[in-house]
Structure 1
């Protein structure tokens, strides 16, 4: 049951990741078709995040009271309808409402998958969470490539969202026998993942995180700092995900292929970062990796924004993804160790703060771009990630997540 549940969660994360990054490569077409300003284009991502905030608030009420597999399957099905609504949207207002609906259901799905994974592998949550988010990153890497390939074949941005909605429905129909076993799987807190199972979901960092978490004097303080860290990281990540293709295409003169490759390179960096972190955290400590990763990625993001050369900018964004890629799973695993019996609530609280950043990020960058230019606006992800780095240092020094 444990392996069945983890494999299902990881597989769902791939499709979730693929669809989550579609606003980036499809945004130029949306802006053209609806004749939008950059601020209006950024509002699409903000409304999607607003729907996500509603979803997180709802999960705070029921996340620890319901069968997480059942809710995950239900939200997966509703998400398919939301993507179909985006694809059929006849107006800008309908488009915003459709994206808000995708944000709501995708955030419920996200909370359920994270909390369920943490429940299935309580003794190995670090590696299990890193693996889960690595699968998300794989989908996020493939997403721009799939979108670009479909557009090259003549598909419009709206048809791409219709394809995604149909894909979600198809996965549910074809996977019905498998999903029956998934929802019947026990969610016992004592169900632990074997340290070295074939899925690679053991935890190299769980021992270090658990020991550090037990030494922390304040559970609430840890969650607040981690939530604030994720808030600013979310502005960084959603900002780059939403704007890298448009930035490289309009401000640096890259073609559509090269511009979309920039986003894929960023997500390749995130995949590698999450994979590597799970294998070096014991040596360096979670706190050090959070601080070094965020501060290093902030510098690299600034280089990406200021470089006049497309290739250098793409390399910088890829390295920024590598440096900061494990921020979310590391923060979640630390939070789960502090409150092991309330994984659903911890996930919802931290997701709420993270969604606040995702709500503000796309619109903020678009609004600043309208006022000061897109190059200046693309420095925002670098600045806010620097703030996350400072909070990581505060975390290591005040609640001793990992000794420096």
Structure 2
């Protein structure tokens, strides 16, 4: 009886720890974003040169996610979450200390690489905890990331408004996040408690599931292109195309972010009730129809509603896709997740520039139809998540 109580307590503690890891990841990711203008001004960099420096973070992520599967297999997801998370916690402070373009680029490379490693490892840990629960929990985990990112962005904006020096702000943020990481994330499952792959069937290499992983990666890419577009282009569309004021221009992304957070918090119960394929298909259709109608109306209120519906519709795409990649029979969770993450980040980082290029030719209103089409593509490919063993 005591052993049974302990076995139930361990997954609960592990779930709390992995939920904290996702929240910490969100806190780290958004900590420095509100201070970008001050960092750019301090270094005296032009927009083009600073844009080159900003490529450091995505390059770091792209390199890290390819190696993340090997790192988790070598040391376990708990060790990688704590190790990479510790480096990522300090990285924003290093960004603030950068005195020239070279140091900024190096700091952002380190920042992106550590976040990428932590991302894959915490999702692998989430898959292991989800198996212990025998019901969906990944959507809620990703919801905690969204909450953390939103809280960090608001705190950074408040610090900027109060004219707190950037190094002071990011030093405090790094110290707080590092303490949160080591206080709340230590109960993560260790290697002995992790299940390397779904038990059904003989062990198989990642190559044996290459087609399934590619399809899951395409789903993630389609969703992440839209997420990146909402972050980079929604305010521009509202301000320059529809002529709203500067305050109202931010409502598009705010509505998308809040709806996505709410959708992820409630997503586990919905997926458990209706199934991953049905929820993915219905949500992507809501995203496509909502955003498409909002753009066609060419009205600020309708556009904000469309951006909001898009966030709600794609909220569960990443959790469901990563869970499916981590549950492919015979494939270690981190190996599957790392490949899907790599394609997903390609969409997140490359999608907004592509939309900008299309907008040069046909206008931003029509260019934002790209996420509409890709959301419809998710509905077509949704059946790919059924390839995972539950």
With structure 2 as the length reference, what TM-score do the two structures score?
A: 0.79
Gaps of 5+ in 1: 192-209, 211-217
Larger relative contact order, structure 1 or 2 (CA cutoff 8 Å, min sep 6) = 1
Q: Give 1:354 deviation, angstroms.
A: 1.1
The one of 127, 135, 148 equivalent to 2:144 is 135
Contact map agreement 1:234 1:357 (CA 8 A) in 2 = yes
Q: Is contact 2:96-2:170 (8 Å) kept?
A: no
- Between the aligned partners of 1:332 and 1:254, the Cα distance in structure 2 is 37
In the alignment, does 2:96 pair up with 1:87? yes
Partner of 1:268: 258
**Structure 1's 318 and 162: CA in aligned 2 closer, same or farther, altered over 3 A?**
farther
The alpha carbon displacement at 1:330 in A equals: 0.9
Measured after TM superposition, the shift of residue 331 of structure 1 is: 1.3
Tell me, yes or no, if structure 1 residue 280 matches structure 2 residue 270. yes
Aligned-residue offset at 1:304: 4.5
CA contact (8 A) 1:79 1:165 kept: no
- In structure 2, the partner of 1:113 is 122
Q: Partner residue of 1:169?
A: 175
Q: Deviations over 1:215-237 (max 9, x none)?
A: xxx84433221111112222111
Matched ranges for 1:207-222 at <5 A: 219-222=209-212
> 1:34 Cα deviation (Å)?
4.0
What is the match of residue 188 of structure 1?
A: 193
What displacement does 1:347 show? 1.3
Deviations 1:46-77 (A, max 9, x none): 54322211010111222222132222122122
- Distance in 2 between the 1:126 and 1:259 partners? 39
The answer on 1:36 being equivalent to 2:42 is no
* Structure-2 separation of matches of 1:335 and 1:164: 35
Deviation, 1:281, is 2.6
Q: Write the distance in 2 (CA, Å) between the matches of 1:79 and 1:29.
A: 21
Q: Which residue of 2 aligns with 1:238?
A: 228
Give the direction of change, closer, same or farther, for the CA distance of 1:256–1:9 in structure 2 (3 Å limit): farther
Given that 1:148 and 1:260 are in contact with CA atoms closer than 8 Å, whether structure 2 keeps it comes out as no
Offset, 1:20 = 3.0
What is the number of equivalent residue pairs in this alignment? 368
Q: Distance in 2 between matches of 1:306 and 1:145?
A: 32
* Mapped partners of 2:289, 2:20: distance in 1: 33
SS in 1 for 2:187: helix
Q: Distance in 1 between matches of 2:103 and 2:241?
A: 29
With over 3 angstroms needed to count, the CA separation of the structure-2 counterparts of 1:178 and 1:29, relative to structure 1, is: closer
For the Cα contact (< 8 Å) 1:226–1:331, is it kept in 2?
Answer: yes
Give the C-alpha shift of residue 321 in structure 1: 0.9
Does the CA contact (< 8 Å) of 1:70 and 1:183 recur in 2?
no
Partner of 2:322: 332
Partner of 2:204: none
**Post-superposition shift, 1:122?**
1.4
CA contact (8 A) 1:118 1:125 kept: no
Structure 2: stretches of 5+ with no match in the other structure: 1-9, 201-207
Change (3 A) 1:257 1:141: farther
Query: 2-side partners of 1:122 and 1:293: how far apart?
Result: 24
Task: Specify the alignment match of 1:362 in structure 2.
Answer: 352
The answer to whether residue 73 in structure 2 is matched with residue 70 in structure 1 is no
Q: C-alpha deviations, 1:300-334, integer Å up to 9, x for none?
A: 23344555433322221111111110001111222
Deviation readout 1:173-208 (Å, 9 max, x if unpaired): 4664655x43685641469xxxxxxxxxxxxxxxxx
- With the length of structure 1 as denominator, give the TM-score of the two structures: 0.77
**8 A contact 2:82–2:182 mirrored in 1:** no
1:226 maps to 216
